[in-house]
């Protein structure tokens, strides 16, 4: 760290490497998304896309990676890699990068990727850009341009790593497109063995606990599906819960629904309830009185469904639909589930 | 003359502000409606030393200056006047007289728990027949050997029933008139001391305001505060300081009301535009702002005068007179600007107006403040 | 036990608003705060201090006004504060920042280093693990709970759908999540005491580090351009039949990367 930095000879570095994150023998969606995007970048660069697969007894996953476009898989299979801890993974990938010298290395911006990539970037002294939502190749220089949100999401910044290789980035899951699967595809598989991976383990994993979902606080939710007087009765809040579940959020309500006894007070949004700022707020059968708006108008995206075209909620909505929420919500839930199933099908 | 707060005072204000927003504001509506003491936030304030701000460290206090304490009452009152007066009555009316007039033993025994937040304090002067004319004390204390026997009652006592330590005034020698009044430190657990009627009030409804009843209450001789016959002086000196804290409460109420109103008039639309676009609204807000700023300067001036030592009665009286009347005028005006919504409980404005009124009355009515100020000028 | 907590003073990005007419950020009047993840890390250190009598040093790299954040940390109960500041450190990316901080930390004695997971302005979550790498220490990120066990630290390490309970020997580095705890308030007395203390300042020459690793010149990554997201225009309201409406909404969710 204190040594004088030697600039790397960029011509020595070729190829795009992708960290194919797997947990419990199942590849994360972001791995396919990274390969998909890399294939597009590889066209501009005229190179191959290689997936780095680490784990134990994970060879069957190589076919999956080939199916979604990997030209090659470098497979590091070792008992010490079965459950993720930082050091053995950082060690193996650093050795891979030292040997193969890719010009670009991509990781998912996951709880693993955002721990692993910084460690690697500091070890090999190269630049790392976090949580990218855009990647492209700059015409003249062939450098990778990495675009990402900053300042709490209020601005976007485009970053370049001109003088160091590989150019590394963690990429936000759910943004890049995976390729359509090519059923019969095969690719090269190169085994990468190191004799001493186990000796690099310096963190003991004592327990692995899967999460159980509990009822989300509306102020913590990133998605809120909110019901008002227009929902007609408590029995209709079930469809709102289904939509909320599908979107990874929870339900909330206007004061009218709470006063009518349809939902608990902790669901209430507004002047006498809670103030919320989710990424997505779907107002169903809510008119949008000033006391309600005060509690949700800072949401990132506001969708409103209401029978009354002059309802004040439409003044703050990004997308408004004049119609019957009782009919539209179940249909929307269907669409959401369909879209997610298409993504998941591997 | 420096009108800026010091670094410490500025940071302290930010502390009080964020505490008030996060911990006090969410409860304000509920404790008013339920007329209940804000125990949740009181416990937290006790933990963080808000109940001993101007008390020296050697007695378990925070060792800050008077102005920092006043900032606390101001910031709390912006969101909840009840919470502001709980701290104010405890600090100015109970802790302060013990600090000023108590013996070392009394300070160790009573000031430390008050300052460290282990006990809440209260002050008992007012009686059914002794309000503005406080000299007409009927409560009697008779010395019998190693203890006093106290008989009588007090009314309208803030923190009554919630406090553990009470500074109580009683007549020890009726023949001497005002010079026959003495002050005592009375523990809640002393035999013969009970809590009487709980008042149902117009405002600061979460504040516990009760009657105190003394029936042959036994008080150890050591609990005489100051000397026999000096009680009235102690009461007046204490109220001088208390006045500043009530002025701070009134100031906070006015500021809180104006803040809410500025937000509302920007959002509320009538006749195709926000009502903030109308000159009537603008001018009324301008007038309120100027009055509030003037009140703030009077309050801070009084706090600095008390800090300096020496006399500060006139500064304190000016601050309380002006701030209380400002609070009443501002909250009334703000309800009007809210229109119908100002009259309903959806918005805090009606509560702020109800809360403001008491600041013109307790710890010396506005008439008493006028007597103090004119008395000093015309003597 | 010696604990070092690295904190960053950041603008409260939750309060930053977009000027609707110019499309630029309104930065004035936005309060500066201790980064929430870092504050949770500081609280964790203070709890260990309460329980085991640790010595807590807070460290921050920043411009002179970052000293206010350090004051707040002292007022919360930290024992010592160090500001690492120099014009030459300006414009640093995470490599240069982590190198500078590592150079500063290596001047101190420590058993445990706690950083926040990520800052709400930079949003990278990189500096913590990179400091650990520069100091050759094991690191555990995304700590939801921290315990002391003899000469080791136990951490509840958060992942998207699960937790690991892990144990790591000290000296080590842990990055804290704001979910870790509810940070304490300052006390009024603590504030007055904090302003009596001296904040140590370290400048470029106080650190053993090469110029090629600090500041803008020492940053492998550079910002080529930054821009604000599109100003929120007026919304679109449509009237269609139920199925069409549902499809239309689903498409809009796609547009916004929600689906």
pLDDT in tens, chain B (379 residues): 888 999 999 999 999 999 999 999 999 999 999 999 999 999 999 999 999 999 999 999 999 999 999 999 999 999 999 999 999 999 999 999 999 999 999 999 999 999 999 999 999 999 999 999 988 899 999 999 999 999 999 999 999 999 999 999 999 999 999 999 999 999 999 999 999 999 999 999 999 999 999 999 999 999 999 999 999 999 999 999 999 999 999 999 999 999 999 999 998 989 989 999 999 999 999 999 999 999 999 999 999 999 999 999 999 999 999 999 999 999 999 999 999 999 999 899 999 999 999 999 999 999 999 999 999 999 8
Asked if the model's pLDDT at residue C109 lies above 70, the reply is yes
Is C72 in Cβ contact with B49 (below 8 Å)?
no
Tell whether B345 is within 8 A of chain C (Cβ): no
Q: How far is CA C212 from CA A68, A321, C100, C129, C216, in A?
A: 41, 57, 11, 20, 9
State the Cα–Cα distance between residues A172 and A134, nearest whole angstrom. 9
State the Cα–Cα distance between residues B132 and C179, nearest whole angstrom. 54
Which tokens is A304 given?
């409103």
Tell whether A275 is within 8 A of chain B (Cβ): no
Q: Cis omega before residue C171 (within 30°)?
A: yes
Q: How far is B76 from chain C (nearest CA, A)?
A: 14
Q: How far is C183 from chain A (nearest CA, A)?
A: 18
What pLDDT score was predicted for residue B220? 98
Residue A198 near residue A80 (C-beta atoms within 8 A): yes
State the Cα–Cα distance between residues C94 and C220, nearest whole angstrom. 9
Residue A254 near residue A269 (C-beta atoms within 8 A): yes
Which tokens is C47 given?
């709890």
Closest CA to B250 of B109, B90, B106, B77: B77
Q: How far is A77 from chain C (nearest CA, A)?
A: 21
Chains with 3 or more CB pairs closer than 8 angstroms to A? B, C
Asked if the model's pLDDT at residue C39 lies above 50, the reply is yes
| The dihedral formed by the CA atoms of C230, C235, C240 and C244, expressed in degrees to the nearest 10 | 30
* B363 given a catalytic annotation: yes
DSSP H stretches of helix in chain B: 7-19, 25-33, 39-47, 66-79, 81-88, 96-101, 104-106, 112-115, 231-267, 279-308, 313-338, 340-343, 349-357, 366-378
Q: How far is CA A27 from CA A32, A70, A177, B185, B314, in A?
A: 8, 13, 16, 73, 77
Residues near B321 by Cβ (< 8 Å), separated by ≥ 6?
Answer: B366, B369, B370, B373
> Mean pLDDT, chain B, as a whole number?
97
What pLDDT score was predicted for residue A193? 95
Residue C60 near residue C84 (C-beta atoms within 8 A): yes
State the Cα–Cα distance between residues C225 and C249, nearest whole angstrom. 33
3-class DSSP assignment, residue A279? coil
Residue A113 near residue A175 (C-beta atoms within 8 A): no
Is A2 in Cβ contact with C103 (below 8 Å)?
yes
Closest CA to C65 of C107, C113, C10: C10
What pLDDT score was predicted for residue A1? 46
Closest CA to C80 of C60, C57, C53: C57
Is A202 in Cβ contact with C169 (below 8 Å)?
yes
- Chain C positions in Cβ-Cβ contact with residue B8 (cut-off 8 Å): 191-192, 195
State the Cα–Cα distance between residues B224 and B167, nearest whole angstrom. 10
A243-272 residues touching B, CB cutoff 8 A = 271-272
State the Cα–Cα distance between residues C104 and C135, nearest whole angstrom. 11
Tell whether A147 is within 8 A of chain B (Cβ): no
A339 vs C167, C168, C259: nearest CB? C259
Residues near C217 by Cβ (< 8 Å), separated by ≥ 6?
Answer: C211
Chains with 3 or more CB pairs closer than 8 angstroms to C? A, B
What pLDDT score was predicted for residue A216? 83
DSSP element (H, E) containing A181: none
Q: How far is CA B206 from CA B18, B160, B331, B363, in A?
A: 21, 12, 19, 18
A210 forms beta bridges with C162
Chains with 3 or more CB pairs closer than 8 angstroms to B? A, C
Got the DSSP string for B5-68?
PPHHHHHHHHHHHHHIIIIIHHHHHHHHHTT---HHHHHHHHHTTTTSTTS-GGGTS----HHH
Is pLDDT larger for residue C47 or for residue A342?
A: C47
Residue B154 near residue B125 (C-beta atoms within 8 A): yes
Closest CA to B114 of B68, B65, B159: B159
Is B267 in Cβ contact with A272 (below 8 Å)?
no
What pLDDT score was predicted for residue A4? 55
Give me the sheet containing A301-306, strands edge to edge: A250-253, A223-227, A280-284, A301-306, A319-322, C236-238
What is the distance of C-alpha C196 from the center of its chain?
26
What is the distance of C-alpha B1 from the center of its chain?
28
Q: Residue written as tokens 């009683």?
A: B170
- Chain C positions in Cβ-Cβ contact with residue B46 (cut-off 8 Å): none
Closest CA to B225 of B364, B86, B121, B315: B121
3-class DSSP assignment, residue B318? helix
Q: What is the pLDDT of residues B188-225, one digit of tens each?
A: 999 999 999 999 999 999 999 999 999 999 999 999 99
Residue A45 near residue A62 (C-beta atoms within 8 A): no
Q: Mutate which of B346, B347, B350, B351 to test chain A, going by most A C-beta atoms within 10 A? A: B346
What pLDDT score was predicted for residue C13? 76
Is A294 in Cβ contact with B267 (below 8 Å)?
yes
The neighbour count for residue A53, using CB atoms within 10 Å, is 27
Tell whether B29 is within 8 A of chain A (Cβ): yes
A272 vs B267, B268, B346: nearest CB? B346
What pLDDT score was predicted for residue A174? 75
State the Cα–Cα distance between residues C48 and C3, nearest whole angstrom. 9
Structure confidence at residue C23 as a pLDDT band (50, 70, 90): low
Q: How many CB pairs (< 8 A) connect A and B?
A: 9
A119 vs C99, C129, C243: nearest CB? C129
3-class DSSP assignment, residue B122? strand
C-alpha R_g of chain A: 24
Q: Mutate which of C93, C153, C220, C227 to test chain A, going by most A C-beta atoms within 10 A? A: C220
- What predicted TM-score, i.e. pTM, was given to this entire model? 0.87
- Chain C positions in Cβ-Cβ contact with residue A131 (cut-off 8 Å): 123-125
- 3-state SS string for chain C: CEEEEECCEEECCCCCEECCCCCCEECCCCCEEECHHHHHHHHHHHHHHHHHCCEEEEEEECCHHHHHHHHHHHHHCCCEEEEECCHHHCCCCHHHHHHHHHHHHCCCCCCEEEEECCCCCCCCCCHHHHHHHHCCCCEEEEEEEEEEECCEEEEEEECCCEEEEEEEECCEEEEECHHHCCCCCCCHHHHHHHHHCCCEEECHHHCCCCHHHCCCCCCCCEEEEEEECCCCCCCEEECCCHHHHHHHHHHHHHHCCCC
What is the distance of C-alpha B270 from the center of its chain?
39
What pLDDT score was predicted for residue A274? 84
C222 forms beta bridges with A160
A212: exposed, middle or buried (C-beta count within 10 Å: 0-12, 13-18, 19+)?
exposed
Q: What is the pLDDT of residues C74-94, one digit of tens each?
A: 999 999 999 999 999 999 999
Is A291 in Cβ contact with B346 (below 8 Å)?
yes
Q: How far is CA C75 from CA C187, C188, C195, in A?
A: 7, 8, 8
State the Cα–Cα distance between residues A62 and A70, nearest whole angstrom. 9
Is B12 in Cβ contact with C189 (below 8 Å)?
no
Is C13 in Cβ contact with A3 (below 8 Å)?
no
What pLDDT score was predicted for residue C232? 62
φ and ψ of B247, to 5 deg = -60, -40
Residue A280 near residue A224 (C-beta atoms within 8 A): yes
Asked if the model's pLDDT at residue C228 lies above 80, the reply is no
B309-338 residues touching C, CB cutoff 8 A = none
Residue C220 near residue A147 (C-beta atoms within 8 A): no
Residue C138 near residue C168 (C-beta atoms within 8 A): yes
Residue B230 near residue B58 (C-beta atoms within 8 A): no
Sign of CA dihedral B348, B350, B351, B353: positive
Closest CA to B218 of B194, B181, B183, B192: B192
Residue A42 near residue A136 (C-beta atoms within 8 A): no
pLDDT tens string, chain A, 346 residues long: the values are: 455 566 678 889 999 999 999 999 999 989 999 999 999 999 999 999 999 999 999 999 999 999 999 999 999 999 999 999 999 999 999 999 999 999 999 999 999 999 999 999 999 999 999 999 899 999 999 999 999 988 777 788 999 999 999 999 999 887 788 898 999 898 999 999 999 999 999 999 999 999 876 678 888 889 999 999 999 999 999 999 999 999 999 999 999 999 888 998 889 998 778 888 899 999 999 999 888 888 888 888 999 999 999 898 998 899 999 999 999 999 999 999 998 888 776 4
Closest CA to B231 of B182, B176, B164: B182
Reported ipTM: the value is: 0.93
């Amino acid at each position: 760290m204190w040594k004088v930095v030697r600039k790397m000879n960029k011509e020595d570095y070729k190829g795009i490497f992708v960290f194919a994150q797997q947990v419990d023998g199942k590849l994360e969606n972001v791995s396919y998304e990274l390969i998909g995007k890399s294939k597009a970048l590889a066209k501009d660069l005229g190179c191959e896309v290689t997936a780095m697969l680490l784990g134990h007894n994970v060879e069957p996953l190589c076919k999956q990676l080939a199916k979604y476009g990997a030209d090659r898989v470098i497979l590091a299979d070792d008992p010490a890699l079965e459950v993720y801890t930082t050091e053995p993974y950082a060690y193996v990938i650093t050795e891979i990068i030292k040997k193969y010298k890719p010009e670009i290395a991509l990781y998912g911006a996951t709880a693993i990727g955002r721990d692993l990539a910084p460690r690697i970037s500091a070890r090999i002294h190269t630049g790392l850009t976090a949580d990218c939502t855009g990647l492209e190749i700059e015409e003249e220089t062939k450098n990778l341009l990495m675009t990402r949100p900053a300042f709490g999401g209020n601005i976007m910044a485009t970053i370049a790593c001109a003088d160091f290789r590989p150019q590394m980035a963690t990429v936000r899951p759910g943004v890049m497109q995976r390729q359509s699967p090519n059923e019969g595809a095969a690719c090269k598989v190169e085994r990468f063995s190191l004799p001493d991976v186990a000796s690099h383990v310096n963190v003991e994993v004592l327990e692995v606990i899967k999460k159980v979902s509990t009822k989300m606080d509306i102020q913590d939710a990133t998605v809120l599906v909110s019901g008002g007087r227009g929902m007609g009765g408590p029995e209709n809040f079930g469809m709102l819960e289904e939509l909320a579940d599908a979107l990874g959020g929870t339900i909330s309500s206007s004061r009218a629904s709470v006063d009518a006894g349809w939902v608990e007070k902790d669901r209430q949004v507004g002047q006498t309830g809670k103030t919320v700022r989710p990424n997505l707020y779907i107002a169903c059968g809510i008119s949008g009185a000033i006391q309600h708006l005060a509690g949700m108008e800072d949401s990132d995206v506001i969708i409103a469904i209401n029978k009354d075209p002059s309802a004040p909620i439409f003044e703050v909505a990004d997308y408004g639909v004049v119609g019957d929420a009782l009919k539209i919500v179940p249909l929307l839930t269907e669409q959401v589930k369909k879209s997610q199933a298409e993504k998941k099908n591997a | 003359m420096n009108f800026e707060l010091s670094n410490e005072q500025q940071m302290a204000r930010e502390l009080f502000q964020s505490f008030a927003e996060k911990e006090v504001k969410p409860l304000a509506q509920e404790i008013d409606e339920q007329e209940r003491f804000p125990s949740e936030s009181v416990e937290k304030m006790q933990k963080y030393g808000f109940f001993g701000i101007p008390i020296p460290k050697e007695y378990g206090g925070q060792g800050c200056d008077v102005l920092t304490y006043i900032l606390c009452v101001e910031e709390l009152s912006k969101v909840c006047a009840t919470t502001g007066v709980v701290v104010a009555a405890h600090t100015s009316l109970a802790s302060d007289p013990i600090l000023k007039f108590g013996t070392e033993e009394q300070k160790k025994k009573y000031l430390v728990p008050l300052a460290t937040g282990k006990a809440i304090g209260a002050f008992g002067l007012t009686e059914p027949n002794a309000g503005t004319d406080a000299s007409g004390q009927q409560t009697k204390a008779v010395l019998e050997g190693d203890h006093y026997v106290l008989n009588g009652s007090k009314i309208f006592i803030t923190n009554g029933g919630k406090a553990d330590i009470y500074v109580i005034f009683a007549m020890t020698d009726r023949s001497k008139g005002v010079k026959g009044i003495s002050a005592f430190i009375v523990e809640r657990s002393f035999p013969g001391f009970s809590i009487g009627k709980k008042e149902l009030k117009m405002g600061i409804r979460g504040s516990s305001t009760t009657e105190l009843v003394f029936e042959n209450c036994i008080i150890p001789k050591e609990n005489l505060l100051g000397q026999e016959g000096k009680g009235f002086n102690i009461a007046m000196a204490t109220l001088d300081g208390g006045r500043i804290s009530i002025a701070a409460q009134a100031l906070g109420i006015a500021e809180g009301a104006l803040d809410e109103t500025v937000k509302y008039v920007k959002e509320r639309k009538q006749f195709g535009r926000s009502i903030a676009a109308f000159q009537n609204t603008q001018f009324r807000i301008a007038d309120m702002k100027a009055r509030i700023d003037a009140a703030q300067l009077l309050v801070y001036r009084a706090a600095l005068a008390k800090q300096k030592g020496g006399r500060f009665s006139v500064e304190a009286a000016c601050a309380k007179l002006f701030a209380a009347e400002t609070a009443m005028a501002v909250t009334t005006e703000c309800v009007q600007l809210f229109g119908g919504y100002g009259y309903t409980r959806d918005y805090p404005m009606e509560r702020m107006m109800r809360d403001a009124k008491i600041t013109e009355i307790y710890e010396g009515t506005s008439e008493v403040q006028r007597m103090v100020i004119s008395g000093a000028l015309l003597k | 036990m010696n604990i070092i907590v690295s904190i960053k003073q950041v603008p409260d990005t939750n309060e930053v608003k977009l000027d609707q007419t110019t499309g630029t950020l309104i930065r004035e009047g936005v309060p500066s705060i201790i980064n929430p993840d870092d504050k949770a890390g500081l609280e964790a250190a203070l709890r260990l201090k309460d329980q085991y009598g640790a010595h807590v040093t807070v460290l921050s790299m920043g411009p002179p006004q970052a000293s206010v954040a350090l004051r707040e940390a002292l007022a919360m109960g930290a024992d010592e504060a160090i500001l690492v500041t120099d014009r030459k450190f300006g414009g640093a990316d995470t490599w240069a920042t982590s190198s500078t901080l590592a150079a500063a930390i290596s001047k101190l004695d420590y058993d445990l280093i706690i950083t926040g997971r990520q800052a709400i302005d930079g949003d990278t979550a990189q500096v913590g693990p990179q400091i650990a790498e520069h100091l050759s220490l094991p690191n555990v990120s995304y700590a939801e709970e921290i315990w002391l066990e003899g000469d080791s630290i136990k951490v509840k390490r958060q992942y998207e759908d699960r937790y690991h309970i892990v144990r790591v020997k000290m000296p080590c580095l842990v990055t804290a999540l704001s979910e870790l705890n509810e940070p304490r308030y300052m006390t009024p007395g603590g504030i007055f005491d904090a302003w009596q203390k001296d904040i140590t300042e370290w400048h470029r020459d106080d650190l053993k580090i090469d110029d090629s690793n600090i500041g803008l010149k020492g940053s492998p990554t550079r910002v080529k351009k930054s821009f604000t997201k599109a100003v929120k225009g007026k919304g679109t309201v449509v009237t269609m039949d139920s199925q069409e409406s549902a499809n239309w909404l689903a498409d809009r969710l796609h547009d916004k990367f929600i689906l």
